[in-house]
Structure 1
Amino acid sequence: MNRYKKLGWNTLVIGLGSMGSKFMIFLLVPFYTFYLTPAEYGQADLLMMSISILVPMLTLSIADGVFRYTMDKIDAKTVFSSAIVIILLMVVVLAMLTPVLQWVPLIQDYYLIFVAILVVQAVSALFQQQVRANGKLILYSIAGLTMSVLLFVANLIFLKYLHLGVAGFLYANLIAFGFNALCLFFGAGLYRLFSFRAINKPLLRTMLLYSLPLIPNAILWWVMQVSDRYILTFFLGVGATGLYTVAAKIPSLLSMINTVFFQAWSISAIGDGIRKSDTFFATVFTMFSCLFFVATEGILLIVQPFAGALFSSAYQEVWRYVPFLLIAVLLSSFSSFLEVSYMAEKKTKQLLMTSLKGGVVNVTLSFMLIPFIGIMGASIATLVGFLITWLIRMRQTNFFGALEFKKAFWLSMTLLFLQSSYVAFIDMPNVFVQAIFAVGLVACQFSIIRKAARQKWRRSVVK
């Protein structure tokens, strides 16, 4: 199987499970808007976002090390057993921190379930990376799809019928992630991979040298995606955070595609030892960017009627904040594509610095803009933060020169920036104006596809 077919197959297998599960999770957003007030949804989201950043911190990002070193063909039992040590240490640390954590205002009313979700998510993340590295992608996808179905059913019971509010939201997540961990543990036979005798301290140190720089990188990536919500809460209250959270869920349609592709791309790039100088790298980015440009354009065209049809009256105006967040997700996806080259070459420290600069810009702009233009300021700050990160990674990897069909690419990017500004700041965006932007972008992508096809044909003739 050649590299293109292998990447396509991995993307298809992961996508069949992941896209279904992620789309179902997206469908829960309008459900939440009917059964949770903006303030409740804002608090629930902050709790889950807090867990998402505590997991890499408390586990030392060891799950990433498991994936990377298993892909290096090191004995899976040794890698997995060594990583479990970190999970056990995390549980001990959480027990020691109990007196402190119980006094944190955000979590004190939900402390026990908060810690339970934290542990289960950490275990689930480790299991997912081990299963993915082992190549058991079908199980990986089925487990994800089943988890999302369970999440939907649990939310239905706890929110609609039992009216448990934020607590019900958390219970549903605990059940879903717990099931996912059990499914992977027994389905992949991970219990056969653990042995105290297989723990290898030198390997664990090597894995930690790789994964430790990914902790601040994960934190900074989280800062760019989530810190705005804490700043919004500080200046405007949890109600505004709830509105911003719903607005951010719409671009998650684009994030779904990126997540699926990133998982498949990392397997191909790391497993096959692909380098950024390889023409395959640039060609895949061309196809990847074409897909994302068109998908972004499609969401921009429907965002206003889409929000009006799906969300309750309290959330009707959230579409105004979507355009800049949508471009931020586009730039984040481009950054993630280049991130794989850092991981393949084990340059995690350089990866950290790119995220640091983008994160500083994001937080600074959030404090500057939110007090004056509110939620829109958070959207703009997020966009600029991801733009800075992407441009720095482009420069560090020398990808400006490797980028194919530069004029059409940069024209497409310009059109999307202009259209996003138009949609965000005009009360009633004109359909005709929107159509002009759409035609221009599609024309650019069509020219790229046509030139890429000609280029591929010439290469085949030469061979």
Structure 2
Amino acid sequence: MNRIKKLGFNTLIIGLGSMGSKFMIFLLVPFYTFYLSPAEYGQADILMMTISILIPILTLSIADGVFRYTMDKIDPKKVFSSGCAILVLMSVLLVALAPILLQIPMIQDYYILFSLILLVQAWNALFQQQVRANGKLILYSVSGLLMAVLLFVANLVFLKYWDMGIDGFLYANLVAFSVQAFLLFFGGKLYRFFSFRAINKPLLGKMLLYSLPLIPNAVLWWVMQVSDRYILTLFLGVAANGLYTVAAKIPSLLSMLNTVFFQAWSISAIGDGIKKSDTFFAQVFTIFSCLFFVVTEVILLIVQPFADTLFSAAYQGVWQYVPFLLIAVILSSFSSFLEVSYMAEKKTKQLVITTLKGGIVNIALSFLLIPFVGIIGASIATLIGFLITWLLRMHQTGFFRQIESKFSFWCSLALLFGQSVYLSCIDTPNLMVQCLFAVALLGCQAVLVKKLVRYKTARSLAK
């Protein structure tokens, strides 16, 4: 199986489960807008986002180390057992931190649920990485799909029928992630890989040397994605954060594609030892960028009627915050694509510098823009933060010169940015103007695809 087919196969298998599960989670957003007020949804979102940032910190990002070293064909029993040791220590640390967490206003009323979800998601992340590294992609995908179905059913029960508000939202997440962790552990027979005797301190040291730099990288990545929500809450209140959270869910359609591709791409790039100087690297990026440009254009064309139809009256108008967030997701995805090369070469320390600079710009702009231009200022700050990170990584890896059909690529990015400015500044977009942007972008993508097809044809004839 050649590299393109292998990457396509892995993407398909992961996508069947992941896209289905993530799309179902996206469909819950309109449901939340009917059963949670903007203030309640904003509070619930803050809790879940706080959990997402505590996981890499408390677990030392060991799940990433487990994946990377299992891919190196090191005894999986030693790798998994050593990873589990870190999570056991994390569980003890979480109990010790209870007095501190109970003093935080946004957490204290939900401390038990908050802690349980944190523990379950941490173990779930470790199980996912081990199963993925073991090559059990079907189980990986099925578990994600089952989790989404359970999340939908649990939300239906706790929010619609039992009217439990934020508590119901948290209970639904706890049930869904617990069942997924159970399925991964027993379905993947991970119990066969655990033994206290298999815990290997020298190996654990190497794993931590790889994973520790990923902690500040994960924190800073989270800062660029989430910090603006805390700043919004500070200046404009939790209701504004609720509106912004709903707006951010629409670009999550694009994030789904990136998540699926990133998981498949990391397996191929690390497993096959693909270098960033390899022509295959640039070809995959061309396909990747074409897909993202086209999907983004489709979302921009339908974002207004889509949002006005699906969301309740309290959330009308959030679509105007979406365009800049879509561009931010594109830039974030391009950065993630290059991130795989750092992982493959175990140069995780270099990731931190690029993410740090982007994070600083994001936070500074959020404090500067939100008080003056409101919610849309958060979107702009996020976009610029990811732009800085991506450009720095492009420079650091020397990938600028490897982009194929540079004019078409940069023109496509400029067109999407121009269309985003147009949509964000006008209450009633003109369909004709929208179509002109779309035709121009598709023309640029046609040039890229044509060049790629010619290259493939030439290689086939050469053989």
What is the TM-score when the length of structure 2 is the normalising length?
Answer: 1.00
Task: Note if 1:275 corresponds to 2:238.
Answer: no
Task: Note if 1:57 corresponds to 2:52.
Answer: no
Equivalent AA in structure 1 for residue 97 of structure 2: L
Equivalent AA in structure 1 for residue 331 of structure 2: L
Equivalent-residue separation in structure 2 for 1:259 and 1:39 (angstroms) = 29
SS at match of 2:260: helix
CA RMSD in angstroms comes to: 0.5
Equivalent AA in structure 2 for residue 102 of structure 1: L
> What are the ranges of 5 or more consecutive residues in structure 2 without an aligned counterpart?
none
Q: Which residue of 2 aligns with 1:297?
A: 297
Q: Which residue of 1 aligns with 2:66?
A: 66
Per-residue CA distance 1:106-134 (angstroms, 9 max, x = gap):
10000001000000000000000000000
| Displacement of 1:460 | 2.0
Equivalent AA in structure 1 for residue 425 of structure 2: F
Q: Which residue of 2 aligns with 1:336?
A: 336
Per-residue CA distance 1:396-416 (angstroms, 9 max, x = gap):
111001111101000001100
Equivalent-residue separation in structure 1 for 2:409 and 2:289 (angstroms) = 8
Identity in percent: 75
Per-residue CA distance 1:225-283 (angstroms, 9 max, x = gap):
00000000000000000000000000000000110000000000000000000011000
Q: Which residue of 1 aligns with 2:172?
A: 172
Q: Which residue of 2 aligns with 1:260?
A: 260
> What are the ranges of 5 or more consecutive residues in structure 1 without an aligned counterpart?
none
Q: Which residue of 1 aligns with 2:27?
A: 27
Q: Which residue of 2 aligns with 1:438?
A: 438
Equivalent-residue separation in structure 2 for 1:144 and 1:304 (angstroms) = 30
Which deviates more from structure 2 when the two are superposed, residues 413-422 or residues 453-462?
Answer: 453-462
Equivalent-residue separation in structure 1 for 2:278 and 2:457 (angstroms) = 18
1:21-420 superposed matches below 5 A = 21-420=21-420
Equivalent-residue separation in structure 2 for 1:456 and 1:433 (angstroms) = 35
Equivalent-residue separation in structure 2 for 1:190 and 1:347 (angstroms) = 29
| Displacement of 1:53 | 0.4
SS at match of 2:277: coil
Aligned length: 463
Equivalent-residue separation in structure 1 for 2:354 and 2:460 (angstroms) = 38
Equivalent-residue separation in structure 2 for 1:404 and 1:461 (angstroms) = 21
Per-residue CA distance 1:317-361 (angstroms, 9 max, x = gap):
100100000000011011100000000001101011110010000
Equivalent-residue separation in structure 1 for 2:417 and 2:128 (angstroms) = 36
Equivalent AA in structure 2 for residue 359 of structure 1: G
| Displacement of 1:70 | 0.2
Per-residue CA distance 1:64-120 (angstroms, 9 max, x = gap):
000000000000000000011100100111111111111110100000010000000
Equivalent-residue separation in structure 2 for 1:139 and 1:149 (angstroms) = 15
SS at match of 1:106: helix
Per-residue CA distance 1:25-78 (angstroms, 9 max, x = gap):
000000000000000000000000000000000000000000000000000000
Per-residue CA distance 1:339-392 (angstroms, 9 max, x = gap):
000000011010111100100000000000000001010000000000000000
Equivalent AA in structure 1 for residue 352 of structure 2: L
Equivalent-residue separation in structure 2 for 1:13 and 1:461 (angstroms) = 31
| Displacement of 1:462 | 2.4
SS at match of 2:110: helix
Equivalent-residue separation in structure 1 for 2:118 and 2:345 (angstroms) = 30
Equivalent-residue separation in structure 2 for 1:29 and 1:100 (angstroms) = 32
SS at match of 1:107: helix
Q: Which residue of 2 aligns with 1:460?
A: 460
| Displacement of 1:457 | 1.1
| Displacement of 1:455 | 1.5
Q: Which residue of 2 aligns with 1:5?
A: 5
Equivalent-residue separation in structure 2 for 1:194 and 1:451 (angstroms) = 50
Equivalent-residue separation in structure 2 for 1:170 and 1:459 (angstroms) = 54
Equivalent-residue separation in structure 2 for 1:32 and 1:87 (angstroms) = 32
| Displacement of 1:461 | 2.0
